[in-house]
Amino acid sequence: MSKIIFMGTPDFSTSILEMLIETHDVIAVVTQPDRPVGRKRILTPPPVKKVAVAHDLLVLQPEKLAHSEELETLLNMECDLIVTAAFGQLLPKELLTHPKYGAVNVHASLLPKYRGGAPIHQAIIDGEKETGVTIMYMVQQLDAGNIISQRAIPIEDEDNVGTMHDKLSALGTTLLQETLPSILNGTNSSVPQEASKVSFASNIQREDEWIDWQQEARQIFNHIRGLSPWPVASTSLEGKTMKLYTAELVPNVSGEPGKILQTTKKAIVVGTGSDDSIALTEIQLAGKKRMPTANFLSGYQDELVGKELG
């Protein structure tokens, strides 16, 4: 049975690790350190660590892998392959070349498009009709290695980051399981990425969360679902932040960008920079819980129509 070192951190990586545990000898799991979470800042282990601990696997959690004691531990292990999936750190050169068959990464995009830390978010925000998973060899440059295998799936209007995350995690697990045998017997082929088609999906910043109501309705719709359910798109109402979880396109209803045009039983309809508008159907006000817009409207006493979102 092949000896594998696995490196990953978030929920996206857990099903991949579980598959490797069932089918191979996972000799070590490397993940990010435990981090404070929530308002009470409770120190919480990464999802990958929880899976590894449940299976009594060796867990290493370096703040930075390069020049660490954990790196020395890994270099002293006999290993056939390193598999990474959303680990969150670049690997030192000496580690990339240490395993018999090198190191491979499971990346949630159709490389060379969307290299970087937020490929699922960016594909939806950009209005892509499909995305997918790529298995590629790791090099010192971010997500730039040769492609071993790749598979696409559609992005539907009903999808958001949450649904696509789950679909791509499952797809990555399946594709890796299908691809591993040829990697581990040295018969697989790989192709370089086309440099002219490279694009990047950097981690989402706070300023990226704010809606620009001057954009077309379709762009705003994609922006909202491309940030839902995390980190969530934002706007403001009467100077207070409003987070936007779900929305619908309202064709052929136009008005001043950012102005509330009407309310229905379940939505707040807002003008955009195009001839269509956006119906906000699930929101969260500052200091409140996430709720259907219908619940908010039932308890809101003031007239909303004519007010502006910023």
Annotated binding residues, written as ranges, equal 109-112
Place of tokens 């290299």: 115
- List the one residue out of 282, 240, 236 whose CA is nearest residue 260: 236
Cβ–Cβ < 8 Å for 164, 131: yes
- List the one residue out of 166, 143, 223 whose CA is nearest residue 13: 166
**Radius of gyration over every alpha carbon of the chain, rounded to an integer in angstroms:** 22
Residues in the annotated binding site for (6S)-5,6,7,8-tetrahydrofolate: 109-112
DSSP-based three-state secondary structure for 227: coil
Q: Helices in the chain by DSSP H: which ranges?
A: 14-23, 47-54, 69-75, 93-96, 119-125, 161-184, 217-225, 293-299
